[in-house]
Chains A and B, each alone.
Chain A
């Protein structure tokens, strides 16, 4: 099983809303990632968790708050987003940080 599951697939939220994106994997991977992808651009790293600890935060605004409750789950809490935060948010996991990565199908987020 090489599946990474993300929910929801689509999300529309207002600028005052609070929402969460969820990601789950059952491959026993110890590294999990959040990426943001704007149209016609490559994915850009937001957060890396390694062994359930945040190891890299690529200077992401505090309105994005990651959480790793256990080794299989990764959440991204969203609050007070801006329209420019509209993008495809991708979750990935790998056995160790930087090794072969597997991606979920993404959450397409629209902020209105």
Chain B
């Protein structure tokens, strides 16, 4: 099945800093999503981005499907951005999502 890698595994930032999170896939990208899991456990949809670039406020994402990776950019980070960021994708058979191991982000005041 599809393998998903995320980097870095952990990231500590000062408030106001920018960051880039990366997601690599072992197989073709089909239905890539980025999520933010808050401290209460809820997975919040950030982007549905099988290809191309999208922006939402301070967040943007780019997926290069031909090279099997996606990037999540966080600009002017805030303490509320802390949590775990997951990327996930459905496999070639349009079935379940496979999650990456996550990037744990801590934004310090």
Contacts and interface: CB of A to CB of B under 8 A. Distances in A.
Secondary structure at chain B's binding surface: helix, strand, loop or mixed? Answer: loop
Nearest to B44: A103
Contacts, number: 63
B94 interface: yes
Interface in B90-107: 90-91, 93-97, 99-102
A98 B101 CA distance: 19
A63 to B, nearest CB: 21
Contact of A101 (B40, B41, B97, B100): B97
Interface stretch (A19-27, A40-48, A69-77): A40-48
A108 interface: yes
B96 A100 contact: no
Interface in A41-67: 41-45, 48, 55-56, 58
Interface in A72-112: 88, 90, 92, 96-106, 108
Interface residues of A, number: 27
Contact of A106 (B30, B42, B101): B42
A103 B88 CA distance: 13
Interface string B2-41: 0000000000000000000000000000110101000011
Interface of A: 2, 33, 37, 41-45, 48, 55-56, 58, 88, 90, 92, 96-106, 108
29 contacts: A37-B41, A41-B101, A42-B99, A42-B100, A42-B101, A42-B102, A43-B86, A44-B99, A45-B96, A55-B95, A56-B96, A58-B96, A90-B41, A92-B43, A92-B97, A96-B94, A97-B90, A98-B30, A98-B31, A98-B95, A99-B94, A100-B48, A101-B88, A102-B45, A103-B43, A104-B42, A105-B41, A105-B42, A108-B41
